[in-house]
Structure 1
């Protein structure tokens, strides 16, 4: 029969116990056990039972992560606060039992079994003495937590994890644990927001070579790709089990270093366990090229919350400047009143039952206690009076870290849940023994119900509560690590992730507060596959490479890009046009033939001047209406032609100024009808000259056609045809004000849309037909005898008229914007001026300056 008092052949090497009515278990992660692998090439050595423990201690090499000793102190400090608080669980004392997991699955299982057994002897499923273990706090890394949960699930003992939640799979559903660290998904979203904030699109990733690292990559890679961030490489940090594997890690690390430094990525996202930082510090030593080591200082490390700035004691004098300027997501924490004094009071001589402090003290202060070694002591002897505050920050911190803060909150969470549980009247909740409240150990499964609904404010004022999935409702702080040349460091809070804030305000960061590596000269670091595409260009993905690697091509004509690295160029709004660099939109000018510009003023002045001249010619003719030169060739026909020319000049003014609905309706129709009247008058004049000559022949029958009637018929019939065309035009598809945004890039052209372009060319065509007929008849009759060379003048005037309008067509078709109206206005003025000058100016010259020729005798003399 096995006795509970028998010596355990496999004792836990580091543990800390404090008795109490209720016990809180703790799974610490402070020391690595460094061993060589067993080869089984030699038979085992028989060791007497009384020397087993001493042999085991001497055969192990312990490497302590000194900073993690604060986790043990945080648990002890929380227990001390609870026991001193008369409002929380009165008449009940809390104790604790802390054991080390040694970052090993084997030792974690061993430690967990020890916690739920008696203190003196490991007897699974058998309790020799009463063991009021109400819950277990731990562990630090998710694999450790999973191993603990596997055991505690059998006994339904609550587990509060102060590190990240373990990776769950189909074989481990529904393990009862409560997560004191914020959710991993929140941290992933924070990393993504940080990368997007600084526009880091080409990054490297370091992860531990385990299930957690694989899960991290599988989770964030699609998330990053959706947001335009590519992974330049994924390097896995090896998990070392034996001393002999360190050499293999160093040899493989040289190749890993070369691959990393060959990448263009300047930002490294590192996801690892609590001790991963010791390998990051090791990284520069893997290169034998000092220049490459210096170049490594030009990288930005982004650490996840599980990692802490820790190092082994032999690394304290290493160059840690590669970490300077790094950004780290840390679990939110606050300074707790009295915690620093509690830490400062700790030393080996004032502490009883603490199995961790001796090895911690010796390795942290590089000294030896005489009673821990046999024989002569070499090196510095520990006095126990060394000051913890003198240790470098990578070994130990006096201010509370995020993991210690989680442990503190976890212990208080258990206490508050027990307090609520003890306050309710359950049938079997307690027994009264000597006036004190005592709990049955068989009832701890009921504690889950109260843990799920716990909510309280801790001594720092932070609210502690869980969501429906058993995860604490909390966020992350973003810390900038500042490493001094002497190796000391301090943390600067530069941002945070608050899950309770609105979605667009969850992530916040102060760029100005960040201190970057001196390599960057305080300029924001850049981490892209290639240089940014500047505004005015767009990205073109390189074939066969990730989409983060691309070429830059200029924006095509008519498009712009305002920002760096745009995927495509876009058109400006209709009211704007691209500048010459194609990186901004400039407001378009409103363009039309205006009275305020030089061209419009010149054309308007010409129109008014010709109108005045025409009016003066008309006045001259009317004043001398009885003179032979006026009476010759139908005096009224001349008046009609002069009036129509006057209207033609004035009609040109309709093409100047901003187009309106009325002016658009009148422009072409008035121009077409008035010009048709003018050309009809010319045609009538030409036909009159021909008929007058033919009527002078003896026996000619043409005399009856000579007179006002024929001229009026010609004018009216020809004008009515044009008027009919214009009426149909206005009735079916009239002109209207419109804007043209396509012809000229820099302008919005305000114009008159002709409505039906077919009707417009019909008007021009009919007018051209009349002009052609007049020109041909005048040309054929140019040599007919006439007193004042009327046929010649008409021929020359129609030649000018036709030349103007023949050149008008190609010029009109090739013109753009306001110059279309200018071309038509000029053609109207030029052709009208041609008719006025060629037909009437010679006659005015005779009337005004050669009045002796304007006599009937002169006319008879010339005819004879």
Structure 2
């Protein structure tokens, strides 16, 4: 940018100063320095200029500032491909001159220069093409005479083209480039007279980014020419790549004239990188130097992605490390008769041009010194040399790409001139053409030549069409360009890029190479960007509990529905298993067996008591309350069965209310028996009449009264807020606990509290009556049973609260069974043992004697 700014100021200074000098002293308005003769030239009614990069270096000169500098001169080896471009301009002009349809009666000439890819030489050529060969301007036109050539074709590089266009734009002088692709040249405010037949890099950059994304390469390297072409092209690519989500590990730049250390540093970066795909936006000369450096110490296999500047250059095919390279190139074309024109080059024609002489001598390693007086130490050319025997880019017309761009540019200028000087096929060669007229006509050009359309949009660009080219090794071992796809910017968005052939990748493999900073995150994980690194570098983090990801490279995890839970891979939500104490599991079977066994034991004891109801031991222990107690214990054992199985609305209400009522009935009976014992001994005291207030009717009424209170509590509980089935998803995340919600916690604890109150009252009364004399005193047994009962239910409370899932129900069943077995064992087991196994002790006499002999 700094150089272009200075160049613009220089041009302004020259264009303002020259007319002034001519007006003051016209004779002194002269060119400083010798004119640059063209490498190829021909006279004509209208001259078309040409500028090509036939050499890549400018001859260096030591500046002493004591003498006049030598004229600029190109050096280095000749690029025979660029020589073919220059000859394509010659061929097109010969065709036009022989045509009766285009510019009939008009002869076109040409002046073709070698700019050697140098800005100073390009500027000199630009002034040469506009000023001509005259050293001194005459004073009749005040430096305002017509330009020496009507228009210019060139330059091959973007940077020289920019320099030339800044000069041409000041004079409205038309320039049509065949190979300058920098997107910056589409800016008509800076380059108003610039046209080109090759598409802008803006389209190529977008096409390359979409291709990289298409093949899944999210981690790439980038290298570019440190020039307008490379910097602008890479900037466009990086912008498009960012939009596609592609990450760039490194982006390096160099230019062929920079120190060798810079090139070596770039090569070392490429060798040490982890990216296996590298996008090279390099001029052909820069790419050649880079590949030569990399060939000395080859890097790991790389997949090269090339810009059109080098990816279709036949001179690059000698580098085997680029086998499998892909990139977008200009479409192949056919120019009838062009090959014969290239090969029909006589020695007489060669001697007319120093460029052709150099080409001839370098191609055949001989010298034309007899004719030219040169002394190079090479053998003299004997006239047997035949261009048809050569195999180099000059003679290779199998894939004419950029050559056709030169051909089209020449015809575009010819059509523009035709529109100015011809009318109804009558042409006037004496018409003076202003450069601005040709520029205006170029904007309107629209024709087809050899089935190739030629037109320019408002930016001076053609419609962007590319071929996707792949470097493939052929059966004979040679490397060749194979078209495997196309890109057409005129197609609808998203349909521009298409593949129609198999691609051979680096090392000759058919599988698409992988180039990623981090491997893809499988389903069940999410991507977490590594701190301080590009977004393509990430860690795969497993989804949190309750979350899944069912896509590869998921950015986040999705939470499962509350009733679902992820599988082990965390890529699918499955219904949570429902857990409850079922009949078919071991725990449920064991508890059910104990419940049934307990109820059978109670019924068996009731049967034993019924058969021995007339025996002293049964009569002495209040047989009516004993039968009622055994009945209630049977219900207590059986009510535990309601806690097993899938909870339903009815089972939830039944299990708690049945448990509460049967246990109150049971404790009421035990309390009645305890009161009977106490009242019985009170009645033995002189003057006591208490038994009449606690006879069998009062005992029944007390049991009924105590039980009725519990029934009332249960009715209120069921009416206000009854228990109901509830899916508990809070205790376990991975499964659902199907349980009975209490509905009203107050109701539940009121039921338990009332049972506890009666049990505590019964325990206190039994404890007070434990030392009363009598062999049949049940108080001590009731005390032990109530002690067990209270211990079980006091322990039950924390166990119930802390037990998870179905074990909550199991704890409640265990408490019911343990307390029931405690009652039946402590109160009835000793009596049944005596009745069944010690019948001799089941007599009133024995019991009375025992009372007399052994005090309690």
Give the TM-score category using the shorter length: 0.7 to 0.9
Contact 2:528 2:541 (8 Å CA) reproduced: yes
Contact 1:268 1:299 (8 Å CA) reproduced: yes
Aligned pairs, number: 809
Give TM-score scaled by structure 1 length.
0.74
Q: Which residue of 1 aligns with 2:441?
A: 447
SS of equivalent to 1:103:
coil
SS of equivalent to 1:206:
strand
CA distance in 1, matches of 2:730, 2:264: 62
Change (3 A) 1:604 1:856: same
SS of equivalent to 1:205:
strand
CA distance in 1, matches of 2:466, 2:56: 28
Matched, 1:105 2:119: yes
Q: Which residue of 2 aligns with 1:50?
A: none
1:581-600 aligned at under 5 Å gives the runs 588-600=576-588
1:215-614 aligned at under 5 Å gives the runs 215=232, 231-240=248-257, 249-258=259-268, 261-284=271-294, 293-294=297-298, 296-308=299-311, 310=313, 320-325=319-324, 327-333=325-331, 335-337=332-334, 342-343=338-339, 346-349=342-345, 359-360=358-359, 362-363=361-362, 366=365, 368=367, 371=371, 374=374, 378-379=378-379, 381=381, 383-387=384-388, 390-391=391-392, 397-400=396-399, 402-404=401-403, 406-407=405-406, 431-432=423-424, 441=433, 443-447=437-441, 450-451=444-445, 459=451, 471-474=461-464, 476-482=466-472, 488-492=478-482, 513-517=503-507, 524-526=513-515, 528=517, 574=562, 588-614=576-602
| Aligned partner (choices 767, 787, 791) of residue 799 of structure 1 | 787
CA distance in 2, matches of 1:782, 1:545: 83
CA distance in 2, matches of 1:234, 1:748: 55
CA distance in 1, matches of 2:212, 2:448: 35
Q: Deviations over 1:632-678 (max 9, x none)?
A: 65555445544544444443344333334443444444433443443
Q: Any unmatched runs of 5+ in structure 1?
A: 46-54, 423-427
Q: Which residue of 2 aligns with 1:824?
A: 812
SS of equivalent to 2:387:
coil
Q: Which residue of 1 aligns with 2:161?
A: 145
Q: Which residue of 1 aligns with 2:13?
A: none
Q: Deviations over 1:520-577 (max 9, x none)?
A: 997835453x888898888777777767777888877777888898877776665665
Contact 1:368 1:379 (8 Å CA) reproduced: yes
Change (3 A) 1:396 1:825: farther
SS of equivalent to 2:77:
strand
Contact 1:278 1:311 (8 Å CA) reproduced: no
1:28-43 aligned at under 5 Å gives the runs 28-40=52-64, 43=67
Change (3 A) 1:434 1:379: same
CA distance in 1, matches of 2:718, 2:366: 109
Q: Deviations over 1:168-223 (max 9, x none)?
A: 69995363445555554554445555665676666543232335555566666677
Q: Which residue of 2 aligns with 1:51?
A: none
| Aligned partner (choices 38, 53, 65) of residue 13 of structure 1 | 38
Q: Deviations over 1:720-760 (max 9, x none)?
A: 55455555555565544443445445434333444555654
- Give 1:594 shift: 2.8
CA distance in 1, matches of 2:442, 2:596: 100
Change (3 A) 1:658 1:399: farther
Contact 2:271 2:300 (8 Å CA) reproduced: no
CA distance in 1, matches of 2:433, 2:328: 36
SS of equivalent to 2:163:
helix
- Give 1:250 shift: 2.0
- Give 1:378 shift: 0.8
1:754-773 aligned at under 5 Å gives the runs 754-755=742-743, 757=745, 760-773=748-761
CA distance in 2, matches of 1:455, 1:710: 124
Change (3 A) 1:728 1:383: farther
Change (3 A) 1:94 1:662: farther
SS of equivalent to 1:750:
strand
- Give 1:411 shift: 6.1
Change (3 A) 1:634 1:277: same
- Give 1:62 shift: 4.5
CA distance in 2, matches of 1:17, 1:332: 29
Change (3 A) 1:347 1:401: closer
Q: Which residue of 1 aligns with 2:172?
A: 155
Q: Which residue of 2 aligns with 1:671?
A: 659
Change (3 A) 1:256 1:375: closer
CA distance in 2, matches of 1:345, 1:322: 35
Q: Which residue of 2 aligns with 1:775?
A: 763
CA distance in 2, matches of 1:717, 1:575: 46
CA distance in 1, matches of 2:477, 2:134: 44
Q: Which residue of 2 aligns with 1:751?
A: 739
Deviates more, 1:569-578 or 1:254-263: 569-578
Matched, 1:705 2:693: yes
1:178-197 aligned at under 5 Å gives the runs 178=195, 180-182=197-199, 184-193=201-210
Q: Deviations over 1:686-715 (max 9, x none)?
A: 334333443343433432431355445544
Q: Which residue of 1 aligns with 2:10?
A: none
SS of equivalent to 1:835:
helix
CA distance in 2, matches of 1:271, 1:685: 105
Q: Deviations over 1:402-435 (max 9, x none)?
A: 54455566667778x869x97xxxxx99534659
CA distance in 2, matches of 1:622, 1:81: 134
Contact 1:143 1:166 (8 Å CA) reproduced: no
Task: Select the structure of larger CA radius of gyration.
Answer: 2
Change (3 A) 1:735 1:116: farther
SS of equivalent to 2:783:
helix
Change (3 A) 1:439 1:860: farther
CA distance in 2, matches of 1:94, 1:829: 121
Contact 2:675 2:765 (8 Å CA) reproduced: yes
Q: Which residue of 2 aligns with 1:52?
A: none
